[in-house]
Amino acid sequence: MMRYLLIPLALFANFSVAEPLPRPDHIVIVIEENHALHQIIGNKEAPYINALAQRGLLFTNSHGVTHPSQPNYIALFSGSTHDVTNDDCLAELSGDNLASILLAKGFSFSIFSDHLPQAGFLGCADGAYRRKHNPLSNWKSLAAFNQPFSAFSQDFTKLPTVALVVPDLFNDMHDGTITQADTWLSKNIEQYAQWALTHNSLLIVTWDEDNGTTDNNIATIFVGSVVKPGQSAQQINHYSLLHTFSDMYGLPYLGYSVDQKSISGIWNTPEPSH
């Protein structure tokens, strides 16, 4: 005699199916400097950035993880600040990072730094370039993936799976004006933004930190065919981005990103087959 176990439907309320994430062919992440959300969104000095936010998805509850700048870059790249608390030029860091885990799975990565004097350069400064804004340079074994922005391919199909783009001190709002950074983005990133809207790709424009407050509320903008335009008030930070990348590409979680959740509710993903 067969017996059946009857389970009340209410018990299934505690179970949820994870939202399917897209796997973009290319992600380009541009990092700006030292400005809070309220200093950028609605600011007439940043017409391009605000237009970009209108075309894409604006996160209104996005946060840096600390102050000053350098540990935020390191956190976004490796899932930890590595106890760095200043902007001093570092010797070398160890452990996995976004580049190493992508490469290990057969994907690709490069960082493109504005006015980096030459590929693989590990100096602390050169003109308006600063190593403190280039987290990959702290892993010398990855020097081959440390490129000047002049190497950023205009044939976007040839870009790496994930690319980090770092404008120089005058083009990232650090020493230059908001307008100057806005113009640089319009000139150098707009063509990729247009392309990402019609291809399986994603542009992320974010900030390392705000202007020094404890809230550390920054603007983060997603643009691409994989994203639903609008705004999201879900709380995210640099570790949330890393967690999301890991889920997109089937990568191990890095450092403190393991404690985060993937960004949800914003994706254009294919309908599941039946």
pLDDT band with cut points at 50, 70 and 90 for residue 274: very low
d(CA 205, CA 210): 14
For residues 35-43, give the mean pLDDT.
Answer: 98
pLDDT band with cut points at 50, 70 and 90 for residue 50: very high
Q: What pLDDT shows up at residue 16?
A: 41
d(CA 249, CA 21): 9
d(CA 25, CA 201): 5
Determine contact, residues 44/178, Cβ cutoff 8 Å.
Answer: no
pLDDT band with cut points at 50, 70 and 90 for residue 18: confident
Q: What pLDDT shows up at residue 39?
A: 98
For residues 95-105, give the mean pLDDT.
Answer: 98
For residues 14-35, give the mean pLDDT.
Answer: 86
pLDDT tens, residue by residue, 184-207: 999 999 999 999 999 999 999 999
Q: For the packed helices 178-188 and 47-55, what is the interaxial angle rounded to 10 degrees?
A: 50
Where exactly are the structural domains of the chain? Answer: 38-259
pLDDT tens, residue by residue, 116-174: 999 999 999 999 999 999 999 999 999 999 999 999 999 999 999 999 999 999 999 99
pLDDT band with cut points at 50, 70 and 90 for residue 237: very high
pLDDT at 218 over 60: yes
Give a three-class secondary structure readout of the chain.
Answer: CCCCCCCCHHHHHHCCCCCCCCCCCEEEEEEECCCCHHHHCCCCCCHHHHHHHHHCEEEEEEECCCCCHHHHHHHHHHCCCCCCCCCCCCCCCCCCCHHHHHHHCCCCEEEEECCCCCCCCCCCEECCEEHHHCHHHHCHHHHHHEEEHHHCCCCHHHCCCEEEEECCCCCCCCCCCHHHHHHHHHHHCHHHHHHHHHCCEEEEEEECCCCCCCCCEEEEEEECCCECCEEECCCEEHHHHHHHHHHHHCCCCCHHHHHCCCCCCCECCCCCCC
pLDDT tens, residue by residue, 71-90: 999 999 999 999 999 999 99
pLDDT at 9 over 50: no
Q: What pLDDT shows up at residue 19?
A: 84
d(CA 14, CA 25): 34
**The CATH homologous superfamily of the domain defined by 38-259:** Alkaline Phosphatase, subunit A (3.40.720.10)
pTM (predicted TM-score): 0.93
Burial level of 60, CB count in 10 A (0-12/13-18/19+)?
A: middle
pLDDT tens, residue by residue, 151-165: 999 999 999 999 999
Q: What pLDDT shows up at residue 270?
A: 54
Q: What pLDDT shows up at residue 2?
A: 43
Q: What pLDDT shows up at residue 10?
A: 42
